[in-house]
Structure 1
Amino acid sequence: MTYVPQIKIPATYMRGGTSKGVFFNLTDLPKEAQVAGEARDNILLRVIGSPDPYGKQTDGMGGATSSTSKTVILAKSDQADHDVDYLFGQVAIDKPFVDWSGNCGNLTAAVGSFAITCGLVDKKRVPDNGIAVVRIWQKNINKTIIAHIPITNGQVQETGNFELDGVTFPAAEVKVDFVSPVDPSEAMFPTGNVVDDLSVPGIGTFKASMINAGIPTVFLNAKDIGYTGTELQEAINSNADALERFETIRAYGAIKMGLINDISEAAARQHTPKVAFVSEPESYVSSSGKNIDAQSIDLNVRALSMGKLHHAMMGTAAVAIGTASAIPGTLVNLAAGGGEKNIVTFGHPSGTLKVGAEVSNINGQWSVNKVTMSRSARVLMEGTVSIPGDCF
């Protein structure tokens, strides 16, 4: 029997924030994959090593977690006043599915660096030394993101002393601005309320703040669902019943937010919405053994991504946290002590994160102008990735 040989595709393996993924320049992909569709999805699935019934992604570049089963496609932007188009694909681990419904805020930190290195940013916009301001058009959600990339001697500066909880080694700081993550024409709170009663058949009715900022997110009070808000991954991810319960809550939250019409549709929309639970500040020991003092944080937040408790915090969920914390009366705001806030530091399983938000209320309608946070990014490997030539 004759088998089709492997093909090689130029690619870069990068860490961005607390995630990592495989980055592609759109024009480097096979012609069939330069447009959305089955061929593109099949290529990305094979690159990452999905679907894998063993849940390990041994035969691909994925790391067997939602944070490391990611792909990015970049192209020179044709949007006015933007440098690069950023398309994110969240690859399911055990299913033949790529979710294009949302953004990855963590990998956003690596987009500017990759775009500069690949020549997708006009050289006139990159200083010899200083900060390159990269204007990113996030194609999944049609939003603008600004990345501030440090440059030394004309090259992206990746090394530095900025420490990010959830990442082992320090690196250069990358400031990221999520500009108008909610359009004025969109409802930040799809139900019209900052707090709702979310009824979940067979489980209960819970107070919930459901917000669409950064990424659609359902916030719950930790105590209402039997938690303290200081839990680490093992407390949730080792409990199959708990995970099933969270997935059911997520599905009914998606209906309440108008993201799906029927509960059966939730399985095909795994990336959104996210489910997170909040609590007032309480001391705990992070997953790295670091003591997090209640006095150093405004609240605790734990969030689930792709069916598992995240080891740190998704960047897009941090946008939702920052926005919700600045709006009086949300569960996030109340957990942080209530009142007006424009910066909060929250505790997550790996440590802490500070996020700032500029919000305004015009005629009773909340809007957010900008959400800002700092991440870091680094190239892990660059060259080509190989896949069987008949997989797409």
Structure 2
Amino acid sequence: MKVVIDSGKIGITPSYIHEDFNGIEDLIGFANRKNENRGFLFVSKVLGKHIPVTPTEMNKVYSVFSKELSSDSKAFVVGLAETATGLGAGVASSLENKQVYFQHTTRSILPHAERWFEISESHSHAVSHIIYKPSQEMLDSLIDVENLILVDDEITTGNTLKQLAKEYLKVLPNIKKINIVSLLSWLDDVKFSEFKRDVAEFCKEEGLVAPELTQSFLFNGSFEFEPNSDYKQELPKSAHKGASVLDCSWNMGRLPVQMKHVVTTDYVTKIEKIIASEGSEKEISIIGTGENMYLPYLIASQLEISGYNVTVQSTTRSPVVVDGKVITSCHKIPMHDNGLVEHYIYNLNVNKLNVVITETGSKSEKEAYQHLGYVL
């Protein structure tokens, strides 16, 4: 398969596609990034980020992984920020294990939380991943976890997940199995064998028992990118590259939690009142903000169960080119964080009833999103 976009030519060689999907076109589109380091972007059609997705479509993905990963052992699921926070939580909530714990890496600074460790992404403009230390009570629950599940939307080199695996092995030494989970994996058998060998050597050096390592994915293959020398797109000066200071009560995942039922009744009631006041049968779009993807999914899912036509998507730090195809529109969101920076929402349908679900509910946060629609 060959795809030509403004930034260059992408050649894809598939090795595996999950039987519930017809091909890679079911999972991704192809877009151009405003980034001199990597000019292209695989845009997920099932993640609920750049492209609006129904809760049913998202739950289909969670169910696929649940069937593969569920076991009798205690599980600790970790999603990577920014794009896989919701995916990680969705996978965690779908597991049939009796005890499931969840955490996601973050680019938010929590004033009253202690950092456990940090890792970095070499290919990204983004700040390091911050991993916060659990409370002593939570740590006591996690210390005997044997199954670690690391979740990302896409794995290219595996270096970030390798760093993450090593750091968790240092602090949770009873881990016996690590599942690497992704929508797209570009790691073939040779590269994944190198991944496993590297982790095993690390464990030997640290005096740890090397865990079993497995991969779960919807698509596996390889790709080549031939850049277009005429394509010139630099990272905008207004792009959000630093960590954000965040102080809110809703920190599910930034601090490790045990997965449990999350009540969304208040949100759904407020949205149904908005629907009634509109007096129309508009389609509904529930919009998350940055790492805040799981709660909007739950709200959208409840609305869908109630019979509403609803999709979910979220804002992002990632600057992408509007091409009129995969990325049809871009709305900028001004954010005051050590100066004025921008976040973005793509493919927003202004004719829908758009409802933004914020994390803090503060006046300044609501004002930042009010041009998109209703803000809760």
TM beyond 0.5: no
Structure ranking higher in strand proportion: 1
Q: TM-score, normalised to structure 1's length? A: 0.23
- The TM-score normalised by the length of structure 2 is 0.24
